[in-house]
């Protein structure tokens, strides 16, 4: 409510309400929201000391990801961490914009319905896990499109060459290697796409993003996809699934063309949030997802 937690994505009211129902019925947060913050060396030092000890929980989940949880019971350590985090200017939502909004809105509902509200009730708080920005890597989030909007392959490549320097790579997979470098899979062949200088603005937190270049110049202007959130001709594939998944979706005939993007950096995410800008839809992918139910925060007795 006071901008200490900063967002970089828009939320949808229907998804907010869906998650609010979950919190209301459970009267609890069943999984932590995933935040990041600008790394602080002293916090890292305290965490390293804590994690030298045996964890309270340490197990491998069915999905192959390990989970280790340390409980901090020493009052001095808790106070030390509290003081250090007081100096952290903001948290940034990495994953869980709708859960963050739902937690805040349900807390506000309970506040309005409690004549004796003091501000110390558990519903004033919700559960989060926070990672320093230098310990997180954002994974790419790629696009597949059903058709070329009436264009032939040759016509599409000609239009594409106005926006990118296009280099055919044949059947060999090509993965983007840097900012403003993309790849495309079309009719059994991979292409390297290098954005021309007039297609981006490195001084603009949104204009610098490769998703912006692709969305404006290709998806919108060439392929007629105006709304990434609602158009059924486009789908999104998390980079964790690799380029083979893009190839499979096209080779199967389900999709006509695929685009792979160089991932957004944590610095770009923070710059966007700090300037009150909003990321284009489906820009960031974090993996692994945090386990639900490992910790639970009860809102009221």
Q: Tell me the Ramachandran region of residue 124: left when phi exceeds 0, alpha when psi lies from -120 to 50, beta otherwise.
A: alpha
**227-259 confidence digits (pLDDT tens):** 888 899 999 999 889 999 999 999 999 999 999
- The pairing of strands 91-95 and 5-6 is parallel
| Separation between Cα atoms, residue 86 and residue 58, nearest integer Å | 29
Question: Is the CATH number of domain 141-274 3.90.75?
Answer: no
Sign of CA dihedral 269, 272, 277, 283: negative
Q: How many CA atoms lie within 13 A of 216 on its CB side?
A: 16
Binning pLDDT at 50, 70 and 90, where does residue 184 land? very high
Residue 282's pLDDT is what? 83
Query: HEC string of the chain?
Result: CCCCEECCCCCCHHHHHHHHHHHHHHCEECCCEEEEECCCHHHHHHHHHHCCCCCCEEEECCCCCEEEECCCCCHHHHHHHHHHHHCCCCEEEEECHHHHHHHHHHHHHHHHCCCCCCCCCHHHCCCEEEEEHHHCCCECEEEEECCCCCCCHHHHHHHHCCCEEEEEEECCCCCCCCCCEEEEEECCEEEEEEECHHHCCCCCCCCCCHHHHHHHHHHHCCCCCCCCCCCCCEEEEEHHHHHHHHHHHHHCCCCCEEEECCCCCHHHHHHHHHCCCCCCCCCCECCCCCCCCCCCEECCC
Residue 171's pLDDT is what? 95
Binning pLDDT at 50, 70 and 90, where does residue 285 land? confident
- Window from 53-57, 212-216, 284-288 with minimum mean pLDDT: 284-288
Residue 148's pLDDT is what? 98
Q: How many CA atoms lie within 13 A of 8 on its CB side?
A: 28
Cβ atoms 123, 298 nearer than 8 A: no
pLDDT greater than 80 at residue 3: yes
Residue 12 CB contacts under 8 Å (≥ 6 apart), including other chains: 98, 229
Residue 160's pLDDT is what? 97
**86-134 confidence digits (pLDDT tens):** 999 999 999 889 999 999 999 999 999 999 999 999 999 999 999 999 9
Q: Where do the domains of the chain lie?
A: 5-136+286-298, 141-274
Determine what percent of the chain is predicted with pLDDT higher than 70.
100
pLDDT greater than 90 at residue 301: no
């Amino acid at each position: 409510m006071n901008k200490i937690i900063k967002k970089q994505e828009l939320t949808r009211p229907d998804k907010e309400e869906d998650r609010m129902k979950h919190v209301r019925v459970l009267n609890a947060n069943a999984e932590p929201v995933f935040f990041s913050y600008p790394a602080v060396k002293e916090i890292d030092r305290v965490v390293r000391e804590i994690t030298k000890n045996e964890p309270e929980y340490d197990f491998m989940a069915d999905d192959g990801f390990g989970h280790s949880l340390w409980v901090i019971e020493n009052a001095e350590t808790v106070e030390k961490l509290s003081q250090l985090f007081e100096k952290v200017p903001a948290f940034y939502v990495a994953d869980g914009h709708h859960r963050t909004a739902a937690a805040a809105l349900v807390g506000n509902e309970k506040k309005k319905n409690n004549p004796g509200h003091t501000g110390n009730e558990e519903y004033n708080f919700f559960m989060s896990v926070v990672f320093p920005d230098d310990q997180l890597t954002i994974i790419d989030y790629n696009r597949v499109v059903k058709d070329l909007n009436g264009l032939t392959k040759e016509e599409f490549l000609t239009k594409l060459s106005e926006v990118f320097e296009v280099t055919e790579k044949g059947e060999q997979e090509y993965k983007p290697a840097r900012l403003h470098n993309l790849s495309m899979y079309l009719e059994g062949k991979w292409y390297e796409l290098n954005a021309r200088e007039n297609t981006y603005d490195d001084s603009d937190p949104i204009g610098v993003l490769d998703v912006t270049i692709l969305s404006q110049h290709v998806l919108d202007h060439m392929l007629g996809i105006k709304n990434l959130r609602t158009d059924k001709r486009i789908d999104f594939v998390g980079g964790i699934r690799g380029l083979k998944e893009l190839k499979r979706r096209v080779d199967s005939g389900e999709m006509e063309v695929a685009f792979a993007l160089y991932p957004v950096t944590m610095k770009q995410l923070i710059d966007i949030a700090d300037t009150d800008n909003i990321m284009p839809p489906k820009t960031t992918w974090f993996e692994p997802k945090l386990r639900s139910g490992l910790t639970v925060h009860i809102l009221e007795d």
